[in-house]
A and B are shown apart, each in its own frame.
Chain A
Amino acid sequence: MDGNTNAIQTVDVRRHYRMGENVIKAVDGVSVTIKQGEFAALLGTSGSGKSTLMNLIAGLDRPSSGAILVHGRDLAQMSSEELAKYRRHTVGMVFQSFNLVPTMNLAENVELPMRFAEVDRSERDARVQDALKRVRLSARLTHRPSELSGGEQQRAALARALVNKPQLLLADEPTGNLDSRTGEEIMNLIQELNTTLGTTIVMVTHERSLAERYANRLIFLGDGKMLDAGEPATTLTAGGVQ
């Protein structure tokens, strides 16, 4: 992995919501660079714009202004069709509320992104098995999400996020709904992806301690603006921001 290549570079990104008279500046001029293979943690208080920024990087939302360069290509300039293609081939997403399809069993849930990516049918089974093995859920293929614990559901969601071999894993509070022990399990799996596959990781979290333990880069947001974005070592001294 070439550590000097930029995976993500945002240039003065803004996302404003117009609510009648007032304008809500969810993201307000964020310029940040995340290198390929980096494990970045997005920290900030509730409502500071973390999820909004994540959705922008994921190509689910469009910025009001600014540029978001992923591997050199500006998401703001892409058509919605190109954005969908970008999401299915480059990005894997994990959410706080897991977001598995309740009417599909685990194997079907994990297969779903491969349908959109038009992966050959003959390949799918093996890849589903592979991904579920990676998150140690091989035995639960035919179970529906409702039959699984929270930690298991999040592991399944992780398997689904990595089945298309994304270069970018975006996780919005992946441990938010889990107890600390289960949360650690998930974090270990994410770290494993980062180290073994070299997947670039951007993770939103409330827990600074978790971020400091796993991430090699902490980015602080406050009121839609970037407060600090140094190495874990330097941000430790930047205290006061939580």
Chain B
Amino acid sequence: MKTYDLVELAGRNLREAVLRNSLTTLGIAVGVASLVAMLSLGVGLQQVFGKKLGRSGLFDTVIVASKQDFRNDEDRRTRPNMQSGDIKTLDDNARHAFEKLPGVAEVYPEIRLPAELRFAADGKTERPHFATIAALPASANASEAFEDYQGTFFSGPKVDEAIVMAEFARELLEMPENTKQAENKNLSPEDAKRLIGKELTLRYAERTASADSKNTGSNEDPGGAGFRFSVVRREKKLKIIGVVGAEPYGGVRAVSRGRVFIPTELAEGLNLIQPSDLRTMMRAPASAGKTYITLVVRANKPTQVKAIQDTIKGMGFSTYSMQDASKTLTRVFTFLDMFLGIFGSLALAVASLGIMNTLVMAILERRREIGIMKALGASDIDVKKLFFVEAGAMGVLGGVLGTALGWIIGRVINFGTNVYLQRQDIPTENFWYVPWWLVVGAMTFSVLVSLGSGLYPASRAAKLDPVQALRHD
């Protein structure tokens, strides 16, 4: 039998029992809808977290520390009696070595320190403020570190520019504190305009190498002959170029807890004294130059992180990346999706029984008709195909209807959740996401389940003995 005849006959048969077939189709639609709604929520949740973590920049970075400062469990196990001679110092040599590794985009230290900042709010007198300053690499913008941002980003790597957190901006403008958390944390555009372009004076302590060796009477460390440094108080004028509402990197990284951000290269050039400097300097051999507590090595692609991390580990440093944590997270989400998928599929399984029931009923009802068709020359395969097309048509229709229904249900759940979150003063999120593969997958699944349910009825119809069916009783 030709395809159009099959489709036409199947269509006739479906229309002949409209109510029953519609109800069966609706059953499939509800099954598909529950599957789509469940999975779209699963995917949505995953996306919300994925976006947060992706913004953290942690998936494309390796944090390197000297083993002196940071020894993880693995180091303790493999080399329990590590001598200080084995320990590699994290200095500029190491930094240059990292920069030359394949796949490395940049290497920079994490700089974070408290400082005094002076600012004069519109016509008022200059007042001191205290805040933590953090250095941000120029690449921070590229890796979408910022959310809820107003203004421009650093115009270059070494410019005298600053970005301030909205809370600190309010302090600078002498505005009352923002208490409503759920609301947009950032300033209003008018307030931002009052701040952007203004000057902020940074007062900081600079570390300078000192050649002077005869000013103290104490006993010097014989190994550290001539090693001294002095501290000079300095000022630096910075231009405010942006206000950010949310913490950069999704608040995951140490630097993100600063309140004022300046370019990393500028910060390095200033030779700022960080709280950790004293410790490193006391420990370092006199010959050594600058050393770092930690360095951030950023890869071009997240896939290169593992290789870079392994290489640096092999060079004798402690490393840390989010790769392991991300694996666990992926596993958790796979489990969640599976769980949601199983619940969604359960409804579809029930629907498939509905199809089976409808078609088996149809065979009983159309016994004679099947007999007639066979007497008129229909083959077993023709009869089988006819039932298959009927099942498939219900599957296609149910799939389309169900996907639409699931989409609506997902929206409603998302909307309801967000209304609730808003009432609780928690920022809203889009928990619901229907990717194209879910649409295509749900429809395909619906058709496959329908055809699967049609398998038994179709073969039963095909096997029907026409002589028995036509027997007049």
- Min CB–CB distance B184 → chain A (angstroms): 64
- B residues 1-19 near A (Cβ < 8 Å) are 1-2, 4-5, 9, 12, 16
Interface string of A92-121 (1 = CB under 8 A from B): 010111011101100000001101111001
- Of chain B, the residue at the smallest CB distance from A157 is B372
Q: What chain B residues lie within 8 Å of A93 (beta carbons)?
A: 375-376
B372 touches A101 (CB 8 A): yes
Is B382's CB within 8 Å of the partner chain A?
yes
Q: What chain B residues lie within 8 Å of A116 (beta carbons)?
A: 1, 373, 376-379, 382
Q: What chain A residues lie within 8 Å of B472 (beta carbons)?
A: 95-97
Query: Among the listed A58, A97, A104, which residue makes an inter-chain contact with B375, where contact means beta carbons less than 8 Å apart?
Result: A58
- Min CB–CB distance A83 → chain B (angstroms): 8
Query: Among the listed B9, B376, B377, B470, which residue makes an inter-chain contact with A85, where contact means beta carbons less than 8 Å apart?
Result: B377
Q: What chain B residues lie within 8 Å of A164 (beta carbons)?
A: 377
- Of chain B, the residue at the smallest CB distance from A81 is B379
Interface string of B211-250 (1 = CB under 8 A from A): 0000000000000000000000000000000000000000
Query: What is the interface residue range for chain A against chain B?
Result: 20 to 34
- Of chain B, the residue at the smallest CB distance from A117 is B377
What separation, in Å, do the CA atoms of A113 and B5 have in the docked complex? 11
Is A89's CB within 8 Å of the partner chain B?
yes
A89 touches B379 (CB 8 A): no
Given A60-B466, A80-B379, A84-B378; A112-B373 close (CB under 8 Å):
yes
Given A103-B12, A116-B1, A118-B1; A87-B373 close (CB under 8 Å):
no
Is A127's CB within 8 Å of the partner chain B?
no
What separation, in Å, do the CA atoms of A144 and B17 have in the docked complex? 17
Is B368's CB within 8 Å of the partner chain A?
yes
A60 touches B374 (CB 8 A): yes
What separation, in Å, do the CA atoms of A99 and B4 have in the docked complex? 24
Q: What chain B residues lie within 8 Å of A35 (beta carbons)?
A: none
What separation, in Å, do the CA atoms of A61 and B4 have in the docked complex? 29
- Min CB–CB distance A223 → chain B (angstroms): 19
Query: Among the listed A80, A84, A96, A104, which residue makes an inter-chain contact with B377, where contact means beta carbons less than 8 Å apart?
Result: A84
What separation, in Å, do the CA atoms of A88 and B372 have in the docked complex? 12
What separation, in Å, do the CA atoms of A216 and B382 have in the docked complex? 38
The residue in B376, B467, B470 that gathers the most chain A C-beta atoms within 10 A of its C-beta is: B376
Is B147's CB within 8 Å of the partner chain A?
no
- Min CB–CB distance A220 → chain B (angstroms): 23
- Min CB–CB distance B81 → chain A (angstroms): 83
Given A84-B382, A103-B12, A116-B382; A60-B467 close (CB under 8 Å):
yes
B375 touches A99 (CB 8 A): yes
Interface string of B11-39 (1 = CB under 8 A from A): 01000100000000000000000000000
- Of chain A, the residue at the smallest CB distance from B466 is A60
CB<8 Å pairs between A and B, sample of 5? A80-B379, A84-B382, A87-B376, A87-B377, A118-B2
Q: What chain A residues lie within 8 Å of B12 (beta carbons)?
A: 103-104
Is A225's CB within 8 Å of the partner chain B?
no
Interface string of A141-168 (1 = CB under 8 A from B): 0000000000000000000100010000
What separation, in Å, do the CA atoms of A160 and B9 have in the docked complex? 17
